[in-house]
Structure 1
């Protein structure tokens, strides 16, 4: 929660929020300037901007945000359009979103092998959809849909699926995706720096025209996404909250995914009109953050995207909301744990109210010392609670969420949250809190400025919300001027009985829309064919990018403390933040009580400080700490501002040495664990990816199931748990430090981290044996629309020699939008929204590799989806051009990869667990260069084909074809309590 809050604070405050600064702020050093580069292009800069932005505006109105980051030879790219679901026609909701999907389908040049013939069929399909939309008779509509399916099959004879994705893959691009929200559609790629020219040429072509190719199969994928939303209780609660906050505005009245009725009756004419209206350069921005030359890059952008034609754009005037004057109550139902949200409507981004609400938000919950943090979470008065802000073009909202403890009502949680807001209104917070909040946000901002993706995200968000970048740079200085008196006065005026409360209750959702299987005829993928565009595109040679490898022996420096502890360190050359970890190569496997003990520490004080006082002291210092116990390692971590490292370490050591048992806190702690278990088993993701996966892998003897019963936890001696925490330092340990001033860090360790002269060896670890797989189907009945299933086969023991070929295999076969699995199951057959397969490398050298696959689909499509997946896993389709593209992609990704900063140490840690002492990427790169399709075929035949799978399924038993599952093996319906070893509800007593 702490790290999430800081991330939200940074991206939603320091980045995504802004205010109109007055002349006084501008004089303080945040003025913007207009300059000309060596090529004659004008750009804006802002004084004291740590991101170094150059903001260009091309003659056609396109905004171009450029910033350099030389950490790796890559460029984070975004193409942002000021067009989202707010602007969907009322009769075509969901339009902006499925237009986003279609922009990946190519143009008259990309994806077509005979455009004149294909065009005729696409025109027929568009007309058929208009007739289908107008027709009211169900039988006639079905007949029209069958005709659409028939013509679509014919059209697919002249197209090649996923040519855009293939080309992006061939560049070595990662993160190829897009998203749509209220006011934005944003297209994403991270590319090797040497591929900028090819990326620009392809993107110029992509945004030059819209071709609605393979439409009905992609629309079916959107239906699958719609179903995933129906299975997501968080999304349902969120949508209900928005509906209450905005009874008139599209924020609450038009879901981005659209309604089922509108998805079933799309208009291709409406989609084309939307594209023509909003996808124009003066309504778009290009964001590039990475390793490039400013002057050369803007010229390249101007020579490509500068050709796009400017058009006048009029965004619709959206309805205004009247003030909320009473509490609005809504509720939703679903199978997951109960929760409640309280939301207050705010003014829009770029207002004074935004700053004040953001300050209130951080005083209430900052992950450390906020009122909600201390009074509710630390005192364990609720299961968990928090708050966050969102600011949009027309309005915003301040949302609070809370989950109840066992036996606690949602209204009790709501009242406790409202009590914290009342304390804010009464000024019941420390005078130093505002300064600490600003420093906290500044620390988070420093961390984010190192990340090219975070900086790029900030730029496109500024564009979407029409925010001057100088206001973003000045934002934290503006917050500093806010006084406690202003916060209190604002809170009393703002937080009244004018909120929306949304109850997420357990129970059947009566509003679920059942979606039928339309029986789509699989379209032709034409893997062995190519458009002229991709053929010429692949002939273009980019300047080679040489891979760089790490000499871990020289990159990771070592020294020792006075008491002989080894300290590995890497200097932070970027900023004044540090990260220190004391590492113990033992965990819960070595001492089952260790995890329980370190978790208990979170709620304890010392003989000098209460638990609340400790949290405040750390927050004042700008220091975060944690103590965590994994299965085989335990960490004591400290991070923050380097100048406060000595005081932070002294405070942490004081806690470790002087923690005082608290029986009341322990009772609440156990109750919280029990409630977490109850909540966990209501989550289908936890059931599938944790419960079923561990059982399929290890059977009854797994780390997941090796837990204490409630009775055992209740009988624990709290002093013994505290002693276990205090005794951690008596075991062998080592230190990793990332930061500046290594000598000061060593001095702090010498002064404050005292240990015995001879440290203890680790206790023997519990061993969990991997089971043989095959012939088992583990099924959990769950109230959901979709069904999700995973396939797991135990593979060969870990071998370093397999890492290169498995990397290439995964790229070609099962990972990514242009992979064989994705194309067959989603693009051709429309059988799933998500489908993948991979060969998973072991985490430790003594473990096995695994073959894995996943399908998320409607229950009524499951038998077909399984047949499709099993067919692929038995007989790998071979497409030479696709293999070459995958090979090129794998090599380019390795060439562009840079392991830097603290990642050098953590990557080396991972390699050592595999018995590897050097940077193995060099061997992988050289091996992949020489590989041919025969190598992939051999790997497939030896490691994939003929494998025996354990199959894990979560779905609604009323809808799932259990007979089809029986064809895969012995079906065992699993009890969730048994899977997790929680014990029956009646056995859970406090």
Structure 2
């Protein structure tokens, strides 16, 4: 079971203890037969309402209904992952996952008999290539593979599977591989279920390894992204220490570089034939469907698959860890440390004990680590998390150092907190509180179709008895504090693996040569017979539903005249209340500082630690957060505890007490956060370079208070600022039941006196004109990432329909023009996209954006390919019609519900739109032709002048090759973020 940490949710313990009698809940399993005569199991008191079918061929089918929206989350899970990769073919399960998207002998081919001849030749060539030791002969074989692959591509049709899922209106079309599973995902409109079942049954019936060598290059790019991810490197080193014999530690999912360079199509076919069998697979559906017709359809398709005898290999056992094992990895990101303890696997008593220990150590609010390390700011950040797999599990603790703190000092602080757990240094109410926290976190999880489907995936992969999973949290509640501490003393000894992530050069980086692949044919104008027949099948149309915001969002007022907008929650007893101020950091830069500082101080009545405990006992969480134009004071949790939670929040608001020592630590934390942020390439590109490309030097990102300015601030001023917020204009949004009680609580606790003040004038940041600039930042990485940015026309509501369709057709998704050309045909990137991005505020400019992440030695080719597309949109009538159909179906299946009704209206109003504009968009898209899209492209995208933001390793990158895009300006990271180094700050 995956732990979901929320800051808020546990029952009111006093009420639970004094008003309720503990009763034993029954989780009896019942076997039944449905109208089709098919047997299924249910569990009494299962909040998910699962029907678990087992077909005659062994296929498991998990079905759970939720009609909140006309969609179905679908997963197809295979109980096989990287654990079962042959030792000479690591990465095989993951590469197979990629290839399952390439079609079958019916999907993705214009002439299977002719194509098959070439694919057999390619397979034989790969076997020769793998066996060949001479480098020159190996290269010659690869060139022959490339030549034959080009011939084969005359008969292949790229992305037919993706075109069909897109035509259904599917979203989230993807897959993932891990140790023990490979899982394929789609979220589909409910009316397309029958077509989806037929498509997936065909897809998993046959494996065809077409477009093999181009996809292998995409996997290499994914391998490179992993080399650029220091977290993954630390994680892999941790696993290596925990599992020196078992594949958990010895076979990474992505595989070894030498194995990726020498693949075997024969091995991949063997793996598929062995593990992709019905008695090793599950179909999982959560959403809006009827049980009997759905299982009948699945049985008529997947039920035809032949059962095969299957034995999973017995994997290596691990010996006991008797002394700390030390590993270290290097990379450019900030330093961190992990300490991990190996446990028994899922479905064991240790799973229960470790889960409970973990939540007592860190629950995001009142855990031992939360209170003693994070709240006291003794480290930059710390936490812990458990993972449970089939054979083993582990409990990992992580920490990042403050300025001047060593990783060993962080390690000792983490180990000291574990000692507190072992010694029982936590309050008696904590076990019940964290179990209730988990229970209500689970309630939220079960409302979400995707999260619930994930839970079923875990149940299948880890062979969990569902009745035992349903009662898992009840079992935790039976564990006493004494039992837990006895377990902790035995479990947490000197039997851990400590992994140091240090800053420095990683000398284990694998450089991959550009193989010079000849672009393969995409054949956009062709269709397989299967696709043609598939498109002729008509589903019952799904009608879109729009929101009448004027009636959906109701209004009332507090006794002191503050407007309360509300949407009723008819699903459960949770609430969410937000007091909204239409001012933010643009109005006063200190607001963000003050909001963050409030997290670390108490009042004249409560210490900060005591406050955290009081909120946690109530099952309530609070927050104060700022955006550039908004400030939110929020409260959420159990409806019955709203009055007491609001009383506590208002007490903090009115009586917060400045703490100079806490403020000094807070400033140090901000400084260290800035230093850490400078080491994150994602932050550098998507925040630093993007803001510079949009605003130049005068960006909101660079308009910051320097550390010496922060140090000079009196924390009393920040506390006064928070308290004074209550005197400004404000409004309230409430999502929950019993609005009258919520308003009554506001009347009692949220006291407002006198006339409310107007907001300070917001500072405006002017967007610069784009074009002719290349902004480059040097960073130690394997890949190079580029972002093209062009400022467009001011926002116009009438452009939203065309831009939405354009993005589907051209720039985003597996079947888009950009993805096909850059990745599928030319193998120049793992990730590439383009988009027409609409502004978030009326009067602001729209932007044209394009992204490529690629090897440095492919950069020039990738840039040329992208710029060619951005200046001449390929016209593919069939692909346009499919994109149009997909866009309409996605809009038809979209439902705006619950609190999203209010927040979506907030976003629309910011754009000057006062109604549900999806109706106008839907009607406009219905009438659009490819000529209309071409006109939109020519007017808004073609010929745009770009600022190009680049991050990469200067040693590997031919920077001059970028000169054709504009004048190159190398930007230092400190300059990019406008950070003054601390050593230059006056003390």
**Structure 2 match to 1:776:** 773
**Structure 1 match to 2:288:** 291
Matched residue SS, 1:158: coil
Alignment of 1:827-976 (within 5 A): 827-976=824-973
Which is further off, 340-349 or 301-310?
301-310
Of 749, 752, 756, 2:749 maps to: 752
| CA-to-aligned-CA distance 1:485-509 (integer Å, 9 cap, x gap) | 0111000000000000000000000
Alignment of 1:139-538 (within 5 A): 139-538=136-535
Give the CA deviation at 1:987: 2.0
**Structure 2 match to 1:20:** none
Distance 1:726 1:703 in 2: 26
Q: Is the Cα–Cα contact under 8 Å of residues 289 and 456 in structure 1 kept in the other structure?
A: yes
| CA-to-aligned-CA distance 1:653-675 (integer Å, 9 cap, x gap) | 00010000000000000000000
Q: Note the residue ranges of structure 1 that are not aligned, 5 or more in a row.
A: 11-24
Matched residue SS, 1:967: helix
Give the CA deviation at 1:755: 1.1
Q: Is it true that 1:793 corresponds to 2:769 in the alignment?
A: no
Distance 1:312 1:626 in 2: 55
Give the CA deviation at 1:592: 1.2
Q: Is the Cα–Cα contact under 8 Å of residues 809 and 817 in structure 2 kept in the other structure?
A: yes
Matched residue SS, 1:380: coil
Q: Matched residue pairs, number?
A: 975
**Structure 1 match to 2:654:** 657
Give the CA deviation at 1:28: 3.1
Give the CA deviation at 1:989: 6.3
Q: Is the Cα–Cα contact under 8 Å of residues 166 and 818 in structure 1 kept in the other structure?
A: yes
Give the CA deviation at 1:718: 1.0
Q: Is it true that 1:630 corresponds to 2:593 in the alignment?
A: no
**Structure 1 match to 2:114:** 117
Distance 1:211 1:592 in 2: 58
Of 691, 695, 699, 2:692 maps to: 695
Q: Against the structure 1 CA distance between its residues 988 and 245, is the aligned structure 2 distance closer, same or farther, given a 3 Å change threshold?
A: farther
Distance 2:427 2:140 in 1: 70
Distance 1:492 1:462 in 2: 30
Distance 1:896 1:977 in 2: 46
| CA-to-aligned-CA distance 1:427-484 (integer Å, 9 cap, x gap) | 1000000011011111211111110101111001100000011111101111110110
**Structure 2 match to 1:68:** 65
Give the CA deviation at 1:3: 11
**Structure 2 match to 1:44:** 41
| CA-to-aligned-CA distance 1:889-912 (integer Å, 9 cap, x gap) | 000000000000000000000000
| CA-to-aligned-CA distance 1:294-347 (integer Å, 9 cap, x gap) | 111110111111111111111000010001000000000000000000000000
Give the CA deviation at 1:706: 1.1
Distance 1:7 1:304 in 2: 45
Give the CA deviation at 1:9: 11
Give the CA deviation at 1:8: 14
Distance 1:29 1:119 in 2: 56
**Structure 1 match to 2:811:** 814
Distance 2:306 2:804 in 1: 42
Matched residue SS, 2:153: helix
Distance 1:9 1:683 in 2: 32
Distance 1:226 1:306 in 2: 37
Distance 2:126 2:64 in 1: 44
Matched residue SS, 1:817: coil
Distance 1:670 1:816 in 2: 42
Q: Is the Cα–Cα contact under 8 Å of residues 624 and 633 in structure 2 kept in the other structure?
A: yes
Distance 2:962 2:242 in 1: 44
Distance 2:727 2:800 in 1: 38
Distance 1:639 1:56 in 2: 38
Matched residue SS, 1:801: helix
Give the CA deviation at 1:630: 1.1
Give the CA deviation at 1:986: 2.9
Q: Against the structure 1 CA distance between its residues 456 and 829, is the aligned structure 2 distance closer, same or farther, given a 3 Å change threshold?
A: same
Distance 2:278 2:337 in 1: 42
Distance 2:769 2:981 in 1: 28
Q: Is it true that 1:29 corresponds to 2:15 in the alignment?
A: no
**Structure 1 match to 2:6:** 6
Q: Is it true that 1:979 corresponds to 2:976 in the alignment?
A: yes
Q: Is the Cα–Cα contact under 8 Å of residues 710 and 989 in structure 1 kept in the other structure?
A: no
| CA-to-aligned-CA distance 1:683-739 (integer Å, 9 cap, x gap) | 000000000000100111111111101110010011111000011111000000001
Q: Is the Cα–Cα contact under 8 Å of residues 3 and 386 in structure 2 kept in the other structure?
A: no
Distance 2:921 2:85 in 1: 48
Give the CA deviation at 1:939: 0.3
**Structure 2 match to 1:19:** none
Q: What RMSD over aligned residues (CA atoms) do the two structures have, in Å?
A: 1.3
**Structure 1 match to 2:15:** none
Distance 1:176 1:757 in 2: 55
Give the CA deviation at 1:963: 1.4
Distance 2:9 2:180 in 1: 21
Matched residue SS, 1:654: helix
Q: Is the Cα–Cα contact under 8 Å of residues 193 and 291 in structure 1 kept in the other structure?
A: yes
Distance 1:804 1:946 in 2: 21
Distance 2:983 2:655 in 1: 38
Distance 1:29 1:791 in 2: 59
**Structure 2 match to 1:592:** 589
Which is further off, 28-37 or 196-205?
28-37
Distance 1:970 1:123 in 2: 49
Give the CA deviation at 1:757: 3.0
Distance 1:106 1:209 in 2: 8
Matched residue SS, 2:784: strand
Give the CA deviation at 1:27: 6.9
Q: Is the Cα–Cα contact under 8 Å of residues 217 and 829 in structure 1 kept in the other structure?
A: yes
Distance 2:37 2:743 in 1: 51
TM-score, normalising length: structure 2: 0.98
Give the CA deviation at 1:984: 3.0
Q: Is the Cα–Cα contact under 8 Å of residues 8 and 388 in structure 1 kept in the other structure?
A: no
**Structure 2 match to 1:739:** 736
Q: Is it true that 1:727 corresponds to 2:724 in the alignment?
A: yes
Q: Note the residue ranges of structure 2 that are not aligned, 5 or more in a row.
A: 11-21
